Amino acid sequence: MDNTKDKELAKIRVLKLGENLLQQKYNEELSREQSLLTQAAQMQTAFSVITAALFMLLPILIDNRGTLDLTFIFIFVSIITLFLLVSFVLALLAQWRFKIRTLSGSDIQNNIIDSINELLAEEKIIVYKTNLLKKLQTDRFKANEKRVFYITISMIAFYLSIFLCLIFFVTSIVILL
């Protein structure tokens, strides 16, 4: 009898360990989501600063262009602006609130009431909660992976716009010399 009880307790401890690890993973995904949303907002701020600087310098550049062709200036500025806009739009998409499962109180209550006889054993309760957490964590993970993708492409577009600004300024200096 003691051997059976020990096995039951060991089984419950293992199930609780799995539940705790899954709860920790879910909490990490929540934290990761907040971090990604913050990073997307910072990308928008960087976009704003660079765009403001670019368009403040543009009239000065046009007035003092010397032998630089206006077409050359507008082509470079247009390409830079395109990459900045791509960066901005992708940062906006990263902040999108993707549709994910949530814990609806009434759904959980109805589900528990429907499964009341099955949930009388402690191990069944742990398995039920673990399955619920797994679904929530999986949805949150998928949404965060989309955010990572959008932020990565946004950063690449942003860095390309900065790189193009440098190329534009170096090319302009070479042409003017």
pLDDT, tens digit (0-9, with 9 covering 90-100), for 18-74: 888 888 998 998 899 999 999 999 999 999 999 999 999 888 888 887 888 889 889
Give the Cβ contact number of residue 115 at 10 Å.
13
Is 126:12 a contact under the CB 8 Å cutoff?
yes
Give the lowest-confidence range in 7-11, 116-120, 141-145. 116-120
Residue 1 has pLDDT above 60, yes or no: no
Q: Extract the tokens encoding 168.
A: 């534009």
pLDDT of residue 69: 87
Residue 115 has pLDDT above 80, yes or no: no
Task: Please tell me the distance from the alpha carbon of residue 103 to that of residue 132, in angstroms, as a whole number.
Answer: 9
Q: Extract the tokens encoding 138.
A: 């999986």
Residues 6+ apart with CB under 8 A from 37: 94, 95, 147
